[in-house]
Amino acid sequence: MFYREAGQFKTDYASDQAVFPILQDRIGIVVIVLAAYSLVLAQNDFLLNAMMIPFLIFTLAAIGLNLLTGYTGLLSLGTGAFMGVGAYSCYKLTTIFPGVNIIIWIIVSGFFAAFIGVIFGLPSLRIKGFYLAVATLAAQFFLEWCFIRIPWLYNYNVSAAIEVPQRELFGVIVTGPRATAETRYLIVLTIVVVMTWMASNIVHGRIGRMWMAVRDMDIAAELMGIRLLPTKLLAFAVSSFYCGVAGAMLVFLWYGGAESTVFSINQSFFVLFMIIIGGLGSLLGSYLGAALIFMLPIVLRFVPPKFGIPVHAATVEHITFMTVGALIVFFLIVEPHGLARLWQIAKQKLRVWPFPY
Amino acid sequence: MDILYKIFIDPFVQMGTAPDLLVQTLWEGLVGGMLYALIALGFVLIFKASGVFNFAQGIMVVFAALTLVGLHAAGMPAFVALALTIVVMLGLAYAVERVVLKPLVNQPDIILFMATFGLTYFLIGFGELIFGGDPKIMITEELYLPKGAITIKALGGIIGLQKLDIAAAIIATVMVAALSIFFSKTRIGRALRAVADSHKAALSVGISLEQIWVIVWFAAGLVALVTGIMWGARSDVSFALDVIALKALPVLILGGFTSVPGAIVGGLIIGVGEKLAEFYWGPLIGGGTDSWFAFVIALVFLLYWPHGLFGEKIIERI
């Protein structure tokens, strides 16, 4: 009833090509961002620490993978390792230069991940489809091995794990065990919002169109004058940059310390499921997919006891696996384009309601 | 210079001075490679007949082995449990065809690939829910599999061959031979090859795709069961094996997705390659290389043969 575009005339090209052409959408985005920031006022550590922070971090990783797999059509199973590169390089940078602002190092570590991503993206010009997926597995296992076997990466700690040191920003503790959930949440939220905005600009612009042309058919794209190697490598670089920043935030702003197992192949699959369920080639889908896949275990853990059904932790884990697997198959059958497409359909229905014909 | 000597000369000197160790390493590599080849064989069967890249093959191995051990633990005689496991794999093939493949006919390959991911996770959760997540011991004695080792004194040393590995090699050879006879001589085998060549042409001469798909998934399930028994006998049966099952992927890349001989040759190359690399070159860089060596070999091969050693060349048209 309120979701109408009647009366909103587009008088120039800019308003016609806007990302959110409808006024209500623009209001909605502002309201959502403000609501996200105002969650800090809730003073609820569980909500922020166990749900919102990891949800946002995984969203960022999912956006990164979506730029590569959803927009450029290059299937990658190395996300976990690229996140790891971000985390380990951030750790090395901040131990070597402790005086520099930690936020800068989190962003810079993304460039290290981008560099590694480009190296492992090089075969993508010759290798396609499933073969490329296996090639990225080489990146996953090789980098994981590096995280264990190169002690320099974790400063020769006996535990072979990275421990996040305490760092301050304008007198406020932002990392380490004494940082409050509110501070970390605000930093994560700001980085994720800014980087989503950047990703949106990239995919709506010239680069995004080149990526999508390559995804739809790379030979045809090449004939149209798109140079494949730079385009594919750029996709690998940007994607790994996002994953690297997500990995650095995962360790510095959520876990507070990590071993190499955090960046195992399962993490790669986890992020891949998010974008499949959320929707390949959709930024909104990255958010929805991360929300569903991440919240599902939490819901499964907390809802049954509320109804008086005792459930073992191990059983919950098994049921989660089953549900995630079944959901993936279900979504692929019902809507191969994921939650984002369902949301679009719902919006379309709302626009023409109550006279659909 | 010293490092160059260690990389390029020293390993070969070691091979020359202790040939018994070299033979032992080669043998272990061949046995490991055979198991990779068996998993890859399951992939190839399904890929040839339905164009589905079945990521769940590794999990099907573990699931089959777990079902066998679980049924035996529930008090059934070993061979009854074996027969029942075969029935379970048939049921799984039916269920996959009904629930996953049929609704996804004519979807892009990548969607089907993702669907097998879903299947993988479902099977992991389902298997652990029913049989528990703790590692189990394969019932080798009840299935009359030999154990112990034969030691041969040769080449100035002792070479130990596990009897189980020899049995595994014989069983694998028999199975591959049986499968190739099945493919080339029987009516269903010919239908399978027709489907592999072209779905549409096969449909037009009256071959039922649904039936063929159930048969291939069942065949892949049987291969998975045999692999699961062999593998379970060498280590424990648990879902921790699924990462090792990923090793079948580089094997596939080496051999090409559509070639049965390719899967076997690829498996043996990867198995021997990673054992040799770990034994002679691994200590130089800290060991543990077998987690990634196979993938890197595959990556290097891919740069020169983008469709594998034996795979079909794909011609792309606009």
| DSSP assignment string, B163-178 | HHHHHHHHHHHHHHHH
pLDDT tens readout for residues B257-303? 777 788 888 888 888 888 888 888 777 776 677 778 888 888 888 77
pLDDT-derived band at B154 (thresholds 50, 70, 90) equals low
- Residue A208's pLDDT is 94
- Residue A308's pLDDT is 66
Domain parsing of chain A, residue ranges: 20-263
The reply to whether B318 falls in a domain is no
Provide DSSP, B172-199. Answer: HHHHHHHHHHHHHHSHHHHHHHHHHH-H
- Residue B1's pLDDT is 66
pLDDT tens readout for residues A162-214? 888 888 777 778 777 778 888 889 999 999 999 999 999 999 999 999 999 99
Test B296 with A142 for CB contact under 8 angstroms.
yes
Test A129 with B109 for CB contact under 8 angstroms.
yes
Comparing CB atoms, the residue among A138, A144, A223 nearest residue B296 is A138
Could you tell me where the DSSP H helices lie in chain A? 13-16, 23-38, 45, 53-65, 79-96, 102-121, 129-149, 181-204, 206-216, 218-223, 228-249, 265-278, 283-306, 313-334, 338-352
The reply to whether B314 falls in a domain is no
> What CATH number is attached to the domain comprising B288?
1.10.3470
**Helices and strands (DSSP H and E) totals, chain B:** 14, 2
The reply to whether B311 falls in a domain is no
Count of domains observed in chain B: 1
Question: Domain limits at B28?
Answer: 2-304
- Mean pLDDT of the A39-50 span: 81
Comparing CB atoms, the residue among A149, A219, A327 nearest residue B288 is A149
Question: Does position A278 have pLDDT exceeding 70, yes or no?
Answer: yes
- Residue B244's pLDDT is 66
The backbone region for B294, taken as left when phi is positive above 0, alpha when psi lies in -120 to 50, beta otherwise, is: alpha
**From CA A108, how far away is CA A191, in angstroms rounded?**
13
CA torsion angle B206 B207 B209 B211 (round to 10): 120
Residue of B nearest to A122 (CA): B303
The reply to whether B68 falls in a domain is yes
- Mean pLDDT of the A215-221 span: 89
Looking at CA atoms only, how far is residue B272 from chain A in angstroms? 18
Residue of B nearest to A279 (CA): B111
Report the percent of chain B where pLDDT is more than 90: 4
**From CA A137, how far away is CA A126, in angstroms rounded?**
16
DSSP state of B136: B
pLDDT tens readout for residues B203-262? 888 888 888 889 889 989 998 998 888 888 777 777 766 666 777 888 887 887 777 788
- Residue A261's pLDDT is 83
Task: Name the strand (E) or helix (H) holding B158.
Answer: strand B157-162
The reply to whether B233 falls in a domain is yes
Report the percent of chain A where pLDDT is more than 70: 97
The reply to whether B42 falls in a domain is yes
The reply to whether B313 falls in a domain is no
ipTM value for the complex: 0.82
The alpha-carbon radius of gyration of chain A (Å, integer) is 21
Question: Does position A251 have pLDDT exceeding 80, yes or no?
Answer: yes
pLDDT tens readout for residues A68-123? 998 998 888 889 999 999 999 999 998 888 888 888 999 999 999 999 999 988 88
- Residue A195's pLDDT is 94
